Every structure is written in structure tokens, then in C-alpha cells.
Amino acid sequence: MNIVRTLTLAAALAAAPAALAQVAVVDPWVRGTVAAQKSTGAFMQLRSASDVALVGASSPVAGIVEIHEMKMDGGVMRMSAVRKLGLPAGKTIDLKPGGYHVMLMALKAPLSEGDSVPISLTFEDKDGRASTIVVNAPVKALTAVPAPAHTRH
Ligand SMILES: [Cu+2]
């Protein structure tokens, strides 16, 4: 497990006192797609030094990006959009197949192993100040990790 990126996030408002949050994004990756597949998941571990929340994401490869949660509901795996994913200080939040993930939808092209997908992650601190970091997530082959089917929305 590598720490891919640890960035210091500055407050969006230059005039505000320097509100700094540190979020480490560990092992980001994106599941590869096959032709005509329009959505896939991005996975990573997030750890913040202070209480923040992941409130949004975007990527140039996808028309729509949402934060999703996947869970069993009456024996059926269901996904639902999450407006805010809280990152309590010092706690590692695992985005992984079958759980939380960043959903890349309306894909503009298939994603193949070896590609690198830039993903912007927007975090908000408890005072409502937003900051964004960009990670480059390598694409892993569709079969790299077994997971429930994840192609329909
Ligand atoms: Cu999803």
C-alpha cells in the first residue's frame, strides 16, 4: 500500500484564516470497462487529519460522478447516492467494491488497464469551507478484484 498523495488543502477563500485540512488518498484505482459499458467505480482509502466530508467528485472521463454506497437490502445489492461521506479525524474510510465508491457515469470512452484517470475530490470542513484535490487513479482490469455486478443504474 503506497501513500499516493498527501496534500495540504487550503481554504478556498484567500481572505479567510488559513483553514488547513490534510487528506491522504491511498491506493486509488478504477475498475476497467468493456466496450459500451457506461459506468464504473473508483475506489481508494481516505484519511483526514481533521473532521471533513467528501461532498463531491468529478472526472474528465465521465459526464456524471457521484459518491455511492452499496449495501445489502433484503438480499439484493443496491447502490444509492450519498450527498456527504464523513471522514472523522484520523479514521481511514475505505472505498471498496461492495461498499462506498466513487461512481463514474456517462463514460466518454472505455477505460483500459494501464490508463490513468484523474479524479477531483471535493472536501468540506466543518465550517463549510470546500477544497479540492486531484488524484490520478490507475485502471485495473475488470477481473482484478471479484465484486458484484456493477454496471447498471
Ligand atoms: Cu455506484
Q: Do 30 and 99 meet the contact criterion of CB atoms below 8 Å apart?
A: no
Residue 15 counted as domain residue: no
The mean per-residue pLDDT over the stretch 100-106 comes to: 98
pLDDT band, very low/low/confident/very high, at 22 (cuts 50, 70, 90): confident
Compute the distance from residue 65 Cα to the ligand 1 centre, in Å: 9
Compute the distance from residue 103 Cα to the ligand 1 centre, in Å: 5
Q: How many CB atoms lie within 10 A of CB 71?
A: 12
Residue 77 counted as domain residue: yes
Residue 9 counted as domain residue: no
Range of 130's domain?
20-140
Q: pLDDT per residue over 108-146, tens digit each?
A: 999 999 999 999 999 999 999 999 999 999 999 977 655
Compute the distance from residue 41 Cα to the ligand 1 centre, in Å: 6
Residue 151 counted as domain residue: no
Kindly tell me if the per-residue pLDDT of 1 is higher than 80: no
Compute the distance from residue 19 Cα to the ligand 1 centre, in Å: 32
Residue 38 counted as domain residue: yes
Domain harbouring 114, CATH code: 2.60.40.1890
Residue 120 counted as domain residue: yes
Tell me what percent of the residues of the chain surpass a pLDDT of 90: 72
Q: pLDDT per residue over 6-17, tens digit each?
A: 444 443 333 343
pTM, two decimal places: 0.80
The mean per-residue pLDDT over the stretch 23-28 comes to: 96
Residue 149 counted as domain residue: no
Kindly report the three-state secondary structure assignment for every residue of the chain. CCEEEEEEECCCCCCCCCCCEEEEEEEEEEECCCCCCCEEEEEEEEEECCCEEEEEEECCCEEEEEEEEEEEECCEEEEEECCCEEECCCCEEEECCCCEEEEEEEECCCCCCCCEEEEEEEEEECCCCEEEEEEEEEEECCCCCCCCCCCCC
Compute the distance from residue 9 Cα to the ligand 1 centre, in Å: 27
Q: Which residues surround ligand 1, an ion (CB under 5 A)?
A: 68, 79, 103
Which carries the bigger pLDDT value, residue 28 or residue 147?
28
What is the Cα–Cα distance from 30 to 96, expressed in whole angstroms? 10
The pLDDT assigned to 94 comes to 97
Compute the distance from residue 132 Cα to the ligand 1 centre, in Å: 21
Compute the distance from residue 53 Cα to the ligand 1 centre, in Å: 18
Residue 11 counted as domain residue: no
- Number of domain units in the chain: 1
Q: Do 128 and 15 meet the contact criterion of CB atoms below 8 Å apart?
A: no
